[in-house]
Amino acid sequence: MRPNLSALASLVALLAMATPRDAAATPWVLPEGLTVLRLGGGVDFADSEYLPDGTHQSYPLDGRFESYYAEIEGRYGLAKRLEVGLKLQFKGVSYNSDPLLNPPDDANPGLRDYREEVISFSRRDIGLADIYLSANVQHLTGAVNLASGLVLKLPSGYPSPQETFADGQPSQNVQDDVTLGDGKTSLEYRLHLGRFFSSTLTLFQLSAGYEARFNGPGHRAVGTLKLGQGVEERLFFFLGANTAITVFEGEPIGTGFVAVDPEVSALDFTAENVEVIDATLDASYLTAEFGALLRLGDRELTLSVSRVLWGKNFPELTSVGLGTILIFD
């Protein structure tokens, strides 16, 4: 299964695929006829968030977000300096919190009246999430590698995020944004710069670009930095940072609500503890990531752990991912 590649080419291909959240973000285009396949999965969880103004606070009502995913990503060297890729992700998401009770107006309410006034924010969904199509073109090779790439993100047809309450009425079904993605098509362009120091097995990667998000959300400037270090060509460690910053505000999708004091319990939660805001799909974040890659014979195993350090309209996610990489000639 191992292709006839130099140790350097193999190492670079493996490290470039190690971080699961980058869709073909690498300055090393695969050689013509080579296929790299990554199978992975992981979990994201959060009990706090960054509000649209950047304020960090816990989810109200003891809320907790969790997401589990399994994904497959393939890259193929289509021509001498051209590589194409496909990534599919299957995901399950859930949000759980304490319910609220909006007391009925009836002077003698029955059980049915109370049930109709229970407001539950707990939601879950499962299915195929976004589909990523990518293409990378190599511009320079040698001491410094330079490539540019396009990534097209296509929603698979899952329900898009909506405002918190149906028709703005608390007694109606909660809709909110516990979905498999943002439900929007986007096109991202990046310029990738990288260098590999074979004498020390040290890898450096830097990418920067622009993400055009269609049908409502604001566009974003994006960037990634990655440093990798090998130990005897069998064990590799890497550190990384990834950011996306909204460059202009998108269109509101409806009305949202944030808690003035998220520590207030469900029993004491009143309308005075609620602030009404415009709900949008704009999201900015900065994440830090650490990972390792272990080569066992003709198999490569990867582990990555990441944490959101800052954001706007974004959860403070902690993520853990596992994967394996296969190379075919």
pTM for the structure as a whole: 0.87
For residue range 184-221, what is the model confidence (pLDDT) as tens digits? Answer: 999 999 999 999 888 898 989 999 999 999 998 999 99
- Pair 252, 311: CB distance under 8 Å: no
pLDDT along the chain (329 residues), means of 10: 46 56 70 90 96 94 94 92 94 90 53 53 90 95 92 92 58 62 94 91 93 95 93 87 94 86 88 87 95 83 94 96 87
Phi, psi of 177 (to 5 degrees): -125, 30
Rounded Cα distance, 43 and 69, in Å: 6
HEC secondary structure over 231-285:
ECCCEEEEEEEEEEEECCCCCCCEEEEEECCCCCCCCCCCHHHEEEEEECCCCEE
Q: Could you give all domains of the chain from N- to C-terminal order, each with its CATH number?
A: 7-328 (2.40.160.40)
The closest of 38, 37, 32, 36 to 77, measured between CA atoms, is 32
Euclidean distance between the first and the last CA atom of the chain, given in angstroms as a whole number:
7
pLDDT at 232: 79
AA letter at 229: Q
CA 184 from chain centre, in angstroms, equals 14
Q: What was the pLDDT predicted at 178?
A: 79
